[in-house]
Amino acid sequence: MTKGVKICLAAAVTIFAAAAVAVVILHRPAESTWVEITQDGKVLYTLDLANFDDETTQTIRIDSPDGGYNIVEIGEGNTIRISEADCPDKTCIKTGTLRYESVPIVCLPHKLVIKLVDEPKDGG
Amino acid sequence: MKTKRLTELALLTAAALIIFIVELRLPDLSSIPGVKLGLANIFTVYAVYSYRAREAMLLLLTRIVLGSVFSSNFSAIIYSLAGGALCIAGMLLLKRVIPINFLWLCSVFGAMLHNTGQIAAAVVLTRSPAVFVHYPMLVVSGCIAGLFTGLCAQYVLKRLIPVRKNETTSKEKEE
């Protein structure tokens, strides 16, 4: 093993470890049950998922100003996801259920963001 | 470029495209776009170590352009090109430091650089730095995928070196 290889190997291991730590930090499960739905920077809804019925599914249709739509589904076990959208990439649907505070559900074409937030202090 | 070399490169590109298209049929490994094995890169790494820089670049460029034509996914071509350019530039430089026995290491760096290029393109195109949240995950998956494709390329190369040597010696005898 030459010196160059050793340096490269050490660099690779360091980067891998740093990235792995970052993944663990970013993917901490959320503690809050409050969810904020924003579109183009404006808050549309602030919901407490704990208030929803555990066994039924409820949907909210959100129309985008430029014509598209997203259907947000609050389902069993107080989970939230985007179940339907007319955007071309469908990344928001593939993201699946909202789980982590640092990883929001984003629909870029419709500028829609669903993220977990801290409980409002004035009781919502 | 000699005809033989051109044929070899064309054959490699065709094989890379086949693997690329087969991989498209596999279900997504993760919800994060960009997390995949990148099996077609076995050929990229192989080409970096057994052909000239120019030829390896040509192989990758052809594979990306034709790959996006066949998968009819033109919106992804910018991400692929950004990732591919950074990946091959990095690997061609690292090739000077890393000998063929540690080819997998070069491939790991290539995969990480590929994902770096992709995420950079995504940030520029979508103008949202929030995409960076996925970066650590992409680096981790890139390391694993790069290790796998690198090892594949290394085994292929090791088995092909004796064959190539035989070819050149037999040619010398003929001459």
Confidence bin at A122 (pLDDT 50/70/90) = low
pLDDT at position A66? 77
What is the amino acid identity at position A109? Answer: P
Average pLDDT, chain A: 82
Q: Is the pTM of this model over 0.80?
A: no
Taken in order of first residue, the domains within chain B and their CATH numbers are: 3-154 (1.10.1760)
Higher pLDDT, B144 or A75: B144
CA of A103, closest CA in chain B: separation in Å? 7
Among B102, B108, B130, beta carbon nearest to A5: B102
Higher pLDDT, A61 or A52: A61
Confidence bin at A31 (pLDDT 50/70/90) = confident
* Per-residue pLDDT at A124 exceeds 50: no
Average pLDDT, chain B: 86
Exposure string over B111-150, b if 16+ CB within 10 A, otherwise e: bbbbbbbbbbbbeeeeeeeebebbbbbbbbbbbebbbbbb
Task: Give the three-class secondary structure for A88.
Answer: coil
Among A8, A15, A104, beta carbon nearest to B98: A8
CB–CB contact B136 A9 (8 Å):
no
Chain A partners within 8 Å of B130 (Cβ)? 104, 106
Interfacial A residues in 38-97 facing B (CB < 8 Å) = 88-89, 91, 94-96
What are the backbone angles phi and psi of residue B146, rounded to the nearest 5°? -65, -40
Query: What chain A residue is nearest to B94 in terms of C-alpha separation?
Result: A8
ipTM tops 0.90: no
The set of residues, in sequence order, having a beta carbon less than 8 Å from that of A8 and lying 6+ positions away, is: B94, B97, B98, B102, B105, B106, B109
Mean pLDDT across A87-113: 79
Q: Which residues of chain B have pLDDT under 50?
A: none
Is A19 near chain B, with CB under 8 Å?
yes
CB–CB contact B140 A20 (8 Å):
yes
Residue B129 structure tokens = 């730095």
* Per-residue pLDDT at A114 exceeds 90: no
CB–CB contact A15 B112 (8 Å):
yes
CB–CB contact B28 A94 (8 Å):
yes
What are the backbone angles phi and psi of residue A72, rounded to the nearest 5°? -95, 130
Chain A partners within 8 Å of B94 (Cβ)? 8
- E strand or H helix at A38: strand A34-39
Chain B partners within 8 Å of A9 (Cβ)? 102, 105
* Per-residue pLDDT at A84 exceeds 70: yes
Chain A partners within 8 Å of B128 (Cβ)? 106, 108
